[in-house]
Amino acid sequence: MKNEKTYELVLLALFTAIIIIMAFTPLGYIPLVVINATIIHIPVILGALFLGPKKGAFLGFVFGFTSFINNTFKAVTASAFVFSPILAANVVGVSGIFKSLYICFVPRILVGVIPYFVYILIQKLLKSERKIWHVVINGAVSLILFISLRAFICNLIQNDTGRLIGMAAGLIAGIVLFIVLTLTGQKKTVTGTALAYAGIAGAFTNTLFVMSGIFILYKDAYAQALGIAGDTVIDVIMGIISFNGIVEAAVAAILIAGVGMALLQVKPIKAERAYPNKLMQKI
């Protein structure tokens, strides 16, 4: 027991160090031709799965704190104030302190909590005797791949040809993935799928909570910072969610599944211990 706690503290320190290194170096981003997909949330999600939601929330706080530092002292974008209470106070007054504290920290803390419970849910559904859940889960994963690949290609080739190629490539990739997942029912596949879903949930948690927070709390100030009309903010935000968010979710799914399966060789997922939870037994 003591050795396990020591091991978890070491792993927590390692994840914390990785977050800090990623946040202050280009290592936290993957260049994808048209955008940079952030992967700073990857160690946060892994921490939630292997160390539990409490330590995951701490790692999320560290993620948020690095964002606060970067946006306060570097402020490389005009909209950096949404992540910095100090800058926000100068832009919208005292209320900006609390608004930016929410956007900077709450979504990132939730990134360290939600994937833990998503993993438990997906594991339970995939291991249930109700085969319909397998079809639903496999279909959802395939749909996400279709949407992400289509969005990426359409953004890369912004014309009718790009839309056609994106639709075809996304459809083929989605169908192939669905067939592969349906034909493989091994335990490793179940675990890998659950890990991928946890990665997707973590990435979308960050994107959806941040962007919805910006729209609700900073609509006018955000529009002014970007130099756009207030009624077009929703279009910008939906564009970020539908492209950046989906691409980052796809990247997170791949990395969390790959790294998670590797880490399983040395440490079990903490969420596995909560698997018999009474709340989940009824599914």
C-alpha to C-alpha distances, 67 to 19, 53, 89, 154, 173, nearest whole angstrom: 11, 21, 17, 30, 35
Most confident of 13-17, 156-160, 276-280: 13-17
* Per-residue pLDDT at 186: 53
Residue 38's H or E segment, with its range, is: strand 36-38
DSSP 31: E
Query: Rounded distance, CA 141 to CA 149, Å?
Result: 12
For residues 197 and 141, the answer to whether their CB atoms sit within 8 Å is yes
Beta-carbon contacts of 246 under 8 Å, excluding residues fewer than 6 positions away, are 144, 147, 148, 151, 152
For residues 87 and 221, the answer to whether their CB atoms sit within 8 Å is no
pLDDT in tens, 223-274: 888 888 878 888 788 777 777 777 788 888 889 989 998 988 887 787 666 5
Q: How confident is the model at residue 103 (pLDDT cuts 50, 70, 90)?
A: very high
Q: Mean pLDDT over residues 113-141, rounded?
A: 82
User: Could you tell me the two tokens for 118?
Assistant: 């998503």
Q: At what angle do helices 42-51 and 187-226 cross, to 10 degrees?
A: 140
Where b means 16+ CB within 10 Å and e means fewer, 30-39 reads eeeeebebbb
Beta-carbon contacts of 37 under 8 Å, excluding residues fewer than 6 positions away, are 29, 30, 244, 247, 248, 251
Q: Which domains does the chain show, CATH number per domain?
A: 2-281 (1.10.1760.20)
Q: How many residues are listed for the chain in this entry? A: 283
* Residues 188/190/195/201 CA torsion (nearest 10 deg): 170
pLDDT at position 34 over 50: no
Q: At what angle do helices 53-73 and 85-92 cross, to 10 degrees?
A: 50
Query: Residue 37: what are its φ and ψ, rounded to 5°?
Result: -85, 125
For residues 269 and 50, the answer to whether their CB atoms sit within 8 Å is yes
pLDDT in tens, 79-95: 889 999 999 998 889 99
Q: What percentage of the chain reaches a pLDDT higher than 70?
A: 87
Beta-carbon contacts of 164 under 8 Å, excluding residues fewer than 6 positions away, are none
pLDDT at position 14 over 80: yes
For residues 242 and 154, the answer to whether their CB atoms sit within 8 Å is no
User: Could you tell me the two tokens for 165?
Assistant: 């190629």
Identity at 259, one-letter amino acid code? V
The alpha carbon dihedral of 198, 136, 139, 107 has a sign of negative
